[in-house]
Structure 1
């Protein structure tokens, strides 16, 4: 996936977008204006004509500088994107140690982390209730139900990854909570 952006070094010329043609047309118009101003200034030999030549030359130089700076910035961004794509591809191709799992889905990892935090908080609630002299049975039941549902959802996320990899463990069963 090298050269992911159009216009990156090494990208075929026909793969680039239409922006360069429009820019080329703009430069052609600016050069034409400069040449016309030069012709009129040379024929008329007036201060205003030469002032217009200076102004059009200044705008042309400004446009060239902006074009070159933008092109260099876009090429730098394309190099960074290409290196990130290459690094990501390299990381995904790295063999996984025995028993270890890697995930290419950071959103799934965040959801699983959140599920584990919920379980930890609910375990803390159950422990506090058991340690207190007065046990609130409803609170303990809600905490255990939350742990059960959260663990089931986390397992479903993991099973979903196995199912995508072709490792079907059979049908998923459970209670739908509304």
Structure 2
């Protein structure tokens, strides 16, 4: 959410819109003045100035409208990305979409842990290298899942397991 300016519009967007509008108004005034002078003088040079100013007006209009459209699309994509990635925590301000994405990632993490537990059971006492890799995968997956839930980055949990 962007902070609002004094006019109620998101801060930072008003200036660029005003600059584009001011520039468009200036180009339009230049074109109209050229048309008036060309009509009064009725000479070839005046009409050449009109054609040139019309060309500049069209180029400026194309650039302004293209940039505004691209900025709107980029803003929408950034907002969508922020909702999907930045709101990865389920909390009071999170969207249902980000909660669903987080739940899907957590579900995938739990499936990985289940598969690695099966690998440990199947290879325990037979292939210690496979067991070590499975344990390491479980540690990494658990760390990633915990960081999704609590937004911490402490590294894998270490310590002694107490029965």
Q: Larger radius of gyration, structure 1 or 2?
A: 1
* 1:104 partnered with 2:102: yes
1:16 shift after superposition: 2.1
Q: How does 1:56-71 map to 2 (within 5 A)?
A: 56-68=53-65, 70-71=67-68
Over aligned residue pairs, what C-alpha RMSD do you find? Answer: 5.0
Contact preservation (8 Å) 1:112, 1:154: yes
Q: TM-score, normalised by structure 1?
A: 0.49
2:154 is aligned to none
1:151 shift after superposition: 1.7
Q: Which runs of 5+ in 2 are unaligned?
A: 88-93, 152-156
2:45 is aligned to 48
1:16 is aligned to 13
Q: Deviations over 1:107-143 (max 9, x none)?
A: x6599389559838966x949xx9xxxxxx6xx1111
Q: TM-score, normalised by structure 2?
A: 0.52
2:26 is aligned to 29
2:116 alignment partner, one of 115, 119, 130: 119
Query: For 1:18, what is the secondary structure of its paired residue?
Result: helix
Q: How does 1:151-166 map to 2 (within 5 A)?
A: 151-161=138-148, 164=150
Q: Deviations over 1:30-55 (max 9, x none)?
A: 23432442354245421121122123
Task: State how many pairs are aligned.
Answer: 145
> Structure 1's 71 and 119: CA in aligned 2 closer, same or farther, altered over 3 A?
same
Choose 85-94 or 42-51, whichever is displaced more: 85-94
Q: Which runs of 5+ in 1 are unaligned?
A: 95-101, 131-136, 166-170
1:143 is aligned to 130
Contact preservation (8 Å) 2:38, 2:50: yes
